[in-house]
Structure 1
């Protein structure tokens, strides 16, 4: 039985669905499926306009249609926004999410779901659903991440650990440490740049070249190509470096195997010890959610995080990633489908993508 528009599912939410071929996009446009608004736009080259997938206008001929990741890409191709569906403007739900994000950033304390629902004129349960779909985190999880980011910025600016915790809006130090249970760096580590931590490392020969892999007792903290001890020390200037011993041999073997077969699921089981702001960690989490063999543009990744205009910030977080392959920044490509940049060279990036596709 062939797939019809109403059978297209969004198992991972509208902003992270990686199964959108042009054929599927066409069926979505025919079905006028609002769930995919913001995921892509439909360009009609016979009229010179682009539309939301849900645009109520009559369907154009297929041969006149091309699909674009976002309004900016469509306009770069010479198209203008449809006045009927206004794809270059935010929908009511999008406006509600943006309004809530602004309110959360301005609030000194966390906003309850009831309060957010009242602010946006939605029921609390419906608002939670549209917010989570757009941002990738629930309102409560987003506010926890926002508090962590504020605390980490204060620590980086020289504020004492206790002062930073209260300045960020935590009611007690224990709440801060509970929020950071999934992060490798403690508050003191963050403030001192890893001082007092031991980083174990080794260089490994792979089919992609010499690979540097480093780990703490909590997990892998660095994976790079063509680098050695000097570069590792520059990345972790206050940490003590030690050549990996027998206790790290198995971990490093797992990492090497994951690099040789990046299409396998083994990489997901390797523990990581990452240092980054809350926003950077959200970007890195989004990178790991991209299925092997698939790619995203910076714009698509920014949209998946609930802020389509944050492409530049997403690019900065991508560049700050210390753990190649395991946090797969190579899956981000240029909006025109080209490879784009990569810290370790386009040849390695192209080969990783080829391997992930099973080539």
Structure 2
């Protein structure tokens, strides 16, 4: 096997790209390089707020250590040796998320902003850029999750609504209109809900397909039919489970999709998640068969380039395999990172799509 020769590093091209990114003050360039200014002897981040120097006075370095070896000293304004702006903002967002999640009742967003050393407007903008949600929307998603968790544990609807922090039942019902299952039914393990499910064999092992009256709510892959079925029955212990000819056809369509993941899938889906998760799942369905996207690229497409981990968690929370193609998201350099139903299945699906 003959390996292709690695292309030679073109420093002039690299420096031209660095200068273009410096001119645009691209925040994501802070990790890519630093630049030194000959006239001052100082090196800075690309996002430094100082005045743009003349091009002939600029030298580019891959990292701060290289700039120091060349005799430059660190800028006191942008602190290129410390955490980048993106890293500092990520830490502040993590702090804000912890405060929001631990608040009893509605969080005091002004106080949270002050604890992060920001105005409410700046805090709101930073939080949305990182999570693709406003602080208020994030808190609404937390309330919804808390209420659904309580319902799933058998709490009454009234108790779950009060414990989650809803001011009135109407607010709760507005927030969960897309559940596919009624809240009271969820509080009784799916009691009263008609959920059809079955397990079928496929070339990747076994596939469980489940559907509510709204559409397919789960496509799960596994090694054993009994284990898949047992887990589903545990989650919907009191649901009315049924099989009919129409659903058998839907299962056949899902098995065909597993065998040929590049085929169009026209069956309706009953998607359940937070606002952020559902946004990521919609974007996943826009990735064409045979193509892949990194978690970073998906985060950027969602409008939150710094929320790579949140995007990865949203992919991992997807319960509808193949139809919502989270298998098309890969790590840097095309590496096959974790997959809810096994990396081997992820590789097989991508191979079937011609990648």
Both proteins in one fold, TM over 0.5: yes
Aligned residues: 303
Separation in structure 2 between the aligned mates of residue 180 and residue 306 of structure 1, nearest angstrom: 25
Superposition map of 1:180-329 within 5 A: 180-202=176-198, 211-225=207-221, 228=225, 231-237=228-234, 238=237, 239-246=239-246, 248=247, 251-252=250-251, 255=254, 259=258, 262=261, 266=264, 270-274=268-272, 278=274, 282-283=276-277, 285-290=279-284, 291-292=286-287, 293-297=291-295, 311=309, 321-329=318-326
Distance in 2 (alpha carbons) for counterparts of 1:319 and 1:233: 21
For 2:152 and 2:295, locate their aligned partners in 1 and report how far apart those are by CA, in whole Å. 30
Contact in 2 for aligned 1:284/1:321 (Cα 8 Å)? no
Q: Which runs of 5+ in 1 are unaligned?
A: 1-22, 45-50, 66-81
CA contact (8 A) 2:295 2:308 kept: no
- Please tell me whether the aligned partners of residues 151 and 167 of structure 1 are also in contact (alpha carbons under 8 angstroms): yes
Q: 1:169 to 1:41 in 2, by over 3 A?
A: same
- TM (normalized to structure 1)? 0.62
User: Any conservation in 2 of the 1:222–1:323 contact (CA below 8 Å)?
Assistant: yes
Which of the pair has more CA radius of gyration? 2
**Corresponding residue number in structure 2 for 1:69:** none
Structure 1 CA distance, aligned partners of 2:137 and 2:191?
Answer: 29
Retained in 1: the 8 A contact 2:113–2:123?
yes
Question: 1:170 Cα shift?
Answer: 0.5
RMSD of the TM alignment (CA)? 4.8
Work out the CA distance in 2 between the residues paired with 1:156 and 1:205.
Answer: 29
Q: Using structure 2 for the length normalisation, give the TM-score.
A: 0.62
Runs (5+) with no aligned partner, structure 2: 1-12, 35-43, 64-77
Q: Structure 1 341/134 Cα, relative in aligned 2: closer, same or farther at 3 Å?
A: closer
| Greater relative CO, 1 or 2 (CA 8 Å, sep 6+) | 1
Q: Among 342, 346, 351, which residue is 1:349 paired with?
A: 346
Q: 2:32 maps to which residue?
A: 42
Shift of 1:132: 1.8
